Amino acid sequence: MQEAILAASDQGARDHVRGDNRLTAEDRIHIYARSYRQRLVECLESEYPLLAGLAGPTAFQLFAQGYIAAYPSRSYTLYDFGARFADWLDAARPPGNPQAVEAIPGALARIERTRAEVHRARGVEGAGPAWPGIDPAIAELLAMAGTRRFYRPDSMRLLALPFDFSEMLAGGEPIPPRPDPTLLAVARANYRVSCLPLEPWQYDWLVLLPDDPAQAVPADAAVANWLPFAVAQGLVASV
């Protein structure tokens, strides 16, 4: 029966399933086959709304159906289903120029998947202030001056992309990206997920920062001015 649903095939339907004058055995299997596909397409649409908007319904359906056939869900949760969509889109396009128009879907899908993961990742909300009772801004300054050490929370992910999607990300409208390489942090602060463009030195510093608090390193003097912003946006957390 699983094969019949996955492949929408009628083979042996009548041998196993009862039909009647309203619905044949095949009709009844098709109800399940249709809802199987529809559920997974809807899952991708809700996880990849910008890509769905930019690609339009016809192209997005093609992407989704190709992906569903290539990577049927193998997890107990639908949250895992879209995890390889960006990889699949990249593999499905003609190889070559990383800034070709065909490379846009994969790059955009990578941002949207990362946003979805960061939304559910272990974050730093509720960790509590390191200096209770002291104004947070002053506490942060104390931290900069002192021995405070920083690490990368799981709710912060780094992306290096061949396109600049900032217009689309700012307005949520499907505006095609510019072919400019971009460094992005997708981070969560107070349960809000944002995509923040990074300077190369900020990106490099974050890449080197460990994600294990026990391994945390002191802040470089060059990034000290930027740190209060980075902490407030959830890019880094302190031990």
Partner 1 sequence: MTQPRLGLPNPGDGLGLREEHFPHLMSTPPENWGVDWFEAITENLLDNHGWGMRVFEHVAAHRPVVFHGVSLSIGSTAPLDLAYLGKLRDLAERFRPLWISDHLCWTGVQGVNSHDLLPLPLTEAALAHVADRVRAVQDFLGRPLIVENPSTYLEFRASQMPEAEFLARLCERTGCGLLLDVNNVHVSSFNHALDPLEYLDAIPAEHVVQVHLAGPSDHGTHLIDTHDAPVPDAVWPLYAHVWQRCGPVATMVEWDANIPAFDVVAAELAKARRVREGLPLAA
Joined together, the tokens standing for residue 199 give 């300077």
Query: Least Å distance between CB 72 and partner 1?
Result: 5
Count CB-CB contacts under 10 A for residue 38.
10
Give per-residue burial for 123-141: e unless 16+ CB within 10 Å, then b: bbeeeeeeeeeeeeeebbe
DSSP state of 178: B
Complex with partner 1: residue 39 or 178, whichever CB lies closer: 39
Query: Least Å distance between CB 95 and partner 1?
Result: 30
Complex with partner 1: residue 117 or 140, whichever CB lies closer: 117
- Interacting residues with partner 1 (CB under 8 A): 1-2, 5-6, 15-18, 20, 22-23, 25, 27-29, 31-32, 35-36, 39-40, 72-79, 81, 119-123, 125-126, 154-155, 188, 191
Complex with partner 1: residue 6 or 141, whichever CB lies closer: 6
User: Cα-flanking dihedrals φ and ψ of residue 149, to 5°?
Assistant: -120, 150
Complex with partner 1: residue 18 or 221, whichever CB lies closer: 18
Complex with partner 1: residue 36 or 139, whichever CB lies closer: 36
The 3 state secondary structure assigned to 43-95 is HHHHHCHHHHHHHHHHHHHHHHHHHHHHCCCCCCCHHHHHHHHHHHHHHHCCC
How far apart are alpha carbons 45 and 42 in whole angstroms? 5
Joined together, the tokens standing for residue 147 give 């021995």
Query: Least Å distance between CB 71 and partner 1?
Result: 10
- What region does 51 belong to: left with phi over 0, alpha with psi -120 to 50, or beta? alpha
Query: Least Å distance between CB 168 and partner 1?
Result: 23
Is residue 138 within 8 A of residue 81, CB to CB? The reply is no
Complex with partner 1: residue 60 or 81, whichever CB lies closer: 81
Query: Least Å distance between CB 162 and partner 1?
Result: 29
Query: Least Å distance between CB 6 and partner 1?
Result: 7
